Chains A and B, each alone.
Chain A
């Protein structure tokens, strides 16, 4: 197994170690079992399901690009990707922190319940789809149908948002600093009040973003007209 201990971090080289072995070792730390708390993963080369299913207070630094579902269903762990991430980054995350230096493909933070997801580049379509409580901060822009059926949580977009933002949204809050190509069904712009400025400011600090101002954002959310079936809204279904 190609592991070594360097600067107090356990190093796993995916060039010669299967993802299965990496994940198993990380899973073995669940329940606060003894073992390394800091990990470095080399040569991910777009591998799928890297560091998914973690449930421990560990820090995992991934040195390169990852494929689908990196940090999927994460609990408690901090996963940093020094590269780009494929589809379903941090999908269904429960808690912890996931940070991607580059950009993320489709469905970043999909259905995630909690924790913080930071994408320093752009996020593609369906960012925050069906999100259920997670906080997502994107330094760049997000693609179409982001926040689709978003239930709760906060999606902060420092750049632009693609078409159909917040389509069929429930109670999540969407903050966008740049242009919105179009709003989806039942998504409307809402007043940005002081409480929202405070929340935005806190989210930006947590995401390590200090070059944008909270007051430059606009807030979007649900008009709540689709919450109960009504023949008058048939055209929107």
Chain B
């Protein structure tokens, strides 16, 4: 197939905004292959995000805290509502659920090492808990997903918290997916599946439907673990106000809201890009639901989906989140899309910075693979240090911004510290457009 050069433009050639080169290429691919495009990563389209908010640093009307000298604490306790042993984190940034299967064993170990070094938690995924992961994760959240692959009461009790996954931001309403290249002997054994099949996971839990059932299910999980563990409920961001309210009603200690930018190891592209609402809108809806129920700060809120910098962390906390969770960014910190693998990326028909075929199991960085040769490329100790470094930078950046706003704890950031750059962001986050007192769609009681 002949590919026109990127610099083929000359006067008179006009690319369609509606049918740009990516759209044309996808139509041609669909016509050729007859099946939808499956990929990893998260949404690539531009949506309103934390970049569209700004923080108001202190000045005359507020005074700031001195960097490097005055304390700005970062600790957070998750699960204070019912659990006998809440999760005590040193930083409000956790590692999101990612399965062994989607990720290699060294990658899971590295995430555990990095999180543990920084005093925060990591999370299992669809497929159960590995011994390496438990060993290297001081604080480990155990996911209970619809498929229940690898779920057993021993691991449930060995976990530090339980996360009932109703959905995720990349595919709210969709089930898991793990393609055959990644169903190795070990993965198949853990999940009770034939080796090499394209694994389908259910999108609904097998033994409960709706919030009333969920309440009973959470009760059972608490009974099995003698009411020790915090129980999280994770939802993909869609009808967030109601979903959060119902999770609280069902007895969640912690609600995790994953916006549409949240990552995945394998999902249809059309799902990733077209289902769910932006994280920015979801945070505000979740906080409103908690406030209306007088549960804000009593049921903790974790927000994920596109958290990349300390600025994202600070803004999410200012909007009312208790903590954030990172997935894609943690994978990148491990070495994903690194230029050091450029030759391998080229061989796969892609390039560093664009690689998203996490479903394919051929990851040159040894992260989203089950091939032993590739997985061996990732040194879990080095990967762990990178993750810890990245978490350290996120924390320092968050503290820097919080101090600038005069806060002695990152949780003291508040919506009043925020303004929006765009009308869309102002409406979604419900903070005023910068330089105005205008919040679109908000009608004050006056």
A: residues with CB less than 8 A from B are 19-20, 23-24, 27, 48-49, 52-53, 55, 67-69, 72-73, 75, 87-88, 91-92, 94, 106-107, 110-111, 113, 126, 129-130, 132-133, 148-149, 151-152, 168, 170-171, 226-229, 231, 234
In the complex, the answer to whether A49 meets B220 with C-beta atoms within 8 Å is yes
Task: Chain A residues near B219: list those with CB within 8 A.
Answer: 48-49
B225 on the A face (CB < 8 A)? yes
List chain A residues, Cβ under 8 A from B86: none
Report whether A151 and B192 are in contact in the complex, using a CB–CB cutoff of 8 Å: yes
The answer to whether A68 touches B213 (Cβ under 8 A) is yes
| Residues A231 and B35 in contact, CB atoms below 8 Å apart | yes
In contact, A73 and B192 (Cβ under 8 angstroms): no
Instruction: Report yes or no: B198 in contact with A53, Cβ–Cβ below 8 A.
Output: no
Interface contact A149-B207, CB-CB below 8 Å: no
Question: Is chain A's interface secondary structure helix, strand, loop, or mixed overall?
Answer: loop
Among candidates B147, B207, B223, B226, residue contacting A107 with C-beta atoms closer than 8 Å: B207
**Shortest beta-carbon contacts, A-B, top 3:** A53-B224, A88-B207, A231-B34
Query: Which residues of the other chain, B, contact A151 by a CB distance below 8 angstroms?
Result: 191-193
Inter-subunit contact A72/B152 (CB<8 Å)? no
Most chain B beta-carbon contacts within 10 A, residue among A48, A126, A229 = A229
Tell me whether B339 is interfacial, beta carbon within 8 Å: no
| A201–B158 CA distance with the chains assembled, in angstroms | 38
A68 to B212, CA, bound (A): 12
When A170-B193, A231-B35 are in contact, do A53 and B147 touch as well, CB less than 8 Å?
A: no
Known: A130-B147, A130-B206, A231-B35. A72 touches B213 (CB 8 A): no
On whether the beta carbons of A55 and B153 are closer than 8 Å, the reply is yes
**Chain A, Cβ-Cβ closest to B147:** A130
Q: A106-B207, A110-B207, A151-B191 are in contact. List 20 more A-B contacts (CB 8 A).
A: A20-B223, A24-B226, A53-B225, A67-B216, A68-B220, A69-B207, A72-B224, A73-B153, A73-B224, A88-B207, A111-B151, A113-B192, A132-B148, A132-B192, A149-B202, A170-B193, A170-B194, A229-B179, A229-B198, A234-B34
The answer to whether B57 has its CB under 8 Å from any CB of chain A is no
Contact B223 A130 (CB under 8 A): no
> Contacts of A170 on B, CB cut-off 8 Å?
193-194, 197
Given A20-B227, A130-B202, A132-B192, also A73-B152 (CB < 8 A): yes
Query: Which residues between 334 and 358 of chain B lie within 8 Å of chain A, taking CB atoms?
Result: none
**A53 neighbours in B (Cβ, 8 Å):** 153, 223-225
Q: Is B148 touching A111 in the complex (CB atoms < 8 A)?
A: yes
Minimum distance in angstroms from A16 CB to a CB of chain B: 19
Q: Of residues 192 to 225 in B, which have CB atoms within 8 Å of A's CB atoms?
A: 192-194, 196-198, 200, 202, 206-208, 213, 216-217, 219-220, 223-225
CA distance A55 to B155 in the complex (A): 13
Q: Within the assembled complex, what's the spacing in Å between the Cα atoms of A130 and B213?
A: 18
Q: Is B180 an interface residue (CB 8 A)?
A: yes
CB proximity of A105 to chain B, nearest CB, Å: 10
The answer to whether A87 touches B220, judged by C-beta atoms less than 8 angstroms apart, is no
Q: A87 contacts B213, CB within 8 Å?
A: yes
> Given A20-B223, A53-B223, A130-B148, A68 and B192 touching (CB < 8 A)?
no
Q: Report chain A residues within 8 Å CB of B226.
A: 23-24, 27
Max count, chain A CB within 10 A of own CB: residue among B152, B191, B196, B207: B207
B284 to chain A, nearest CB (A): 35
A sample of 14 inter-chain contacts (CB < 8 A) reads A55-B153, A68-B213, A73-B152, A87-B216, A107-B207, A111-B151, A126-B206, A148-B202, A149-B200, A168-B200, A227-B197, A228-B196, A229-B179, A231-B33
| Residues in A neighbouring B213, C-beta threshold 8 A | 68, 87
In-complex Cβ contact of A23 among B193, B206, B217, B223 (8 A): B223
User: CA–CA, A55 to B225, complex, Å?
Assistant: 12
Q: Select B198's contact among A19, A27, A228, beta carbons within 8 Å.
A: A228
CB closest chain-B residue, reference A69: B220
The residue from A48, A133, A149 contacting B220, defined by CB atoms under 8 A apart: A48
Q: Do the beta carbons of B206 and A107 come within 8 Å of each other?
A: yes
Across the interface, which residues of B come within 8 angstroms of A72, CB to CB? 220, 224
Are the CB atoms of A227 and B206 closer together than 8 Å? Answer: no
B156 within 8 A of A: yes
**Contact string, B164-206, partner A, CB cutoff 8 A, digits 1/0?**
0000000000000001100000000001111011101010001
Scan B1-44; emit 1 where CB is below 8 A from any A CB, else 0: 00000000000000000000000000000000111000000000
Find the B residue at minimum CB distance from A30. B157
Question: Shortest CB–CB separation between residue B197 and chain A, in angstroms?
Answer: 4
A228:B207 contact, CB within 8 angstroms: no
Known contacts A73-B152, A87-B208: A171-B194 contact under CB 8 Å: yes
Measured in the bound complex, the distance between the Cα atoms of B150 and A94 in whole Å is 11
Closest A-chain residue to B202, C-beta based?
A149
Minimum Cβ distance to chain B for residue A13 (Å):
18
Q: Are A75 and B153 in contact (CB under 8 A)?
A: yes
Let me know if B216 and A229 touch, CB within 8 A: no
How far, in whole Å, are A132 and B208 apart by their CA atoms in the complex?
18
> Would you call B216 and A227 a contact (CB within 8 A)?
no
User: Shortest beta-carbon distance, B174 to chain A, in Å?
Assistant: 13
Q: What's the nearest-Cβ distance from chain B to residue A83, in Å? A: 18
Taking each of A88, A133, A234, which has the highest tally of chain B beta carbons within 10 Å of its own beta carbon?
A88
Question: Contact at B223–A227, with CB atoms within 8 Å?
Answer: no
